[in-house]
Amino acid sequence: MTSVYRLAVVGIGKIARDQHLPAIAAQLGFELVACASRNASVDGVRNYPDIDVLLAAEPDIDAVSLCVPPQVRYAQALAALHAGKHVMLEKPPGASVSEVLALRDIARARGCTLFASWHSRAASAVKPARDWLASRNVHSVEVRWKEDVRRWHPGQQWIWEPGGLGVLDPGINALSIVTRILPREVALRAATLTIPADTATPIAAEFDCLDTDNAPVRAFFDWRHGLVEEWAIDVETDGGRLEIREGGKRLSIDGKQVTLGAEREYPALYERFHELVATKQDDVDVRPLQIVADAFLLGKARSDRSLRPLMSR
């Protein structure tokens, strides 16, 4: 029989309401018993203003899912792990690589599961793409991840603050797919970051990476795109061309569409979290965040005052 874990969700905002709450409601292995959010509540469960009050009042919960922006997740994850709870992190798993690695070590020392989730890796195209690429030599990869920030992040200030990643908040989804499907590791070699005046994070970026066979992996990220977003990955190989479209909802090989299963990113994430808790494992892959961090380390930043009016605030 499936174990049922008592779960709390922290940060009831856009992604919690759009994806987490429906996925948890459909997942028999978790019972949502409580939420913590400063300005929001969820019907039918106990609600608290923050995680510290929640942890004090709910000693029997087994697990916590953190849906807040990355800058505040570390303190919350630490509190939950110190209280002996299993923790699931939204993407990106933290505001820095070092904090995520510290959390992983604490989780292991406490015997708790830490799951750094990457929802785009659960998109339908990802597993078949990985399987097809496993036996091929990659010649080149091009990522185009472009959308209108005003459509996807209305009113969100945290995306422009340190740790908010700017256009690399969606862009890291592409990197999570690339690092999952390619048969070889990828290293960042150069980057440019276009940063609007008075903000800390880029509105556009270009990455030049190489895989360990020196195949170029280029990525173009832009938040100044038109009405229809482009979330595309093209991979040229010695055995043909693979194309991922719509962020992983569509896959074609040599121009022929591959039939994919139904889209179920967040249900798949909660299945994985359940499996990790039940088998006492963790799943913490920082590679997408490491590449983004390397871009801030190695990239050329260009500040551009003219870009300010395009921001979402």
- Site size for ligand NAP (CB under 6 A): 20
Q: Which residues of 36-64 are buried (b: 16+ CB within 10 A; e: fewer)?
A: bbeeeebeeeebbeebeebbeebeebbbb
67 binds ligand NAP (CB under 6 A): yes
Judged by beta carbon, residue 27 or residue 120, the one nearer ligand NAP is 120
Catalytic residue among 91, 146, 256, 280: 91
Nearest-CB residue for ligand NAP: 13
119 binds ligand NAP (CB under 6 A): yes
Residues sharing a CB contact under 8 Å with residue 131, sequence separation 6 or more, in sequence order: none
Judged by beta carbon, residue 132 or residue 273, the one nearer ligand NAP is 273
Between the CA of residue 198 and those of 10, 151, 303, 304, what are the distances in Å?
30, 21, 9, 9
Scanning 12-20, 229-237, 240-248, 297-305 for contacts with ligand NAP by CB under 6 A, the matching segment is 12-20
- Give bridge partners of residue 183 from the DSSP assignment: none
- Give bridge partners of residue 85 from the DSSP assignment: none
Q: Is 300 a catalytic residue?
A: no
Between residue 91 and residue 110, which ones bind ligand NAP under the rule CB under 6 A?
A: 91
Binds ligand NAP by CB under 6 A, chosen from 40, 134, 187, 190: 40
- d(CA 268, CA 148) in angstroms, rounded, equals 27
Judged by beta carbon, residue 93 or residue 196, the one nearer ligand NAP is 93
90 binds ligand NAP (CB under 6 A): yes
- d(CA 265, CA 263) in angstroms, rounded, equals 6
- Which residues are annotated as catalytic? 91
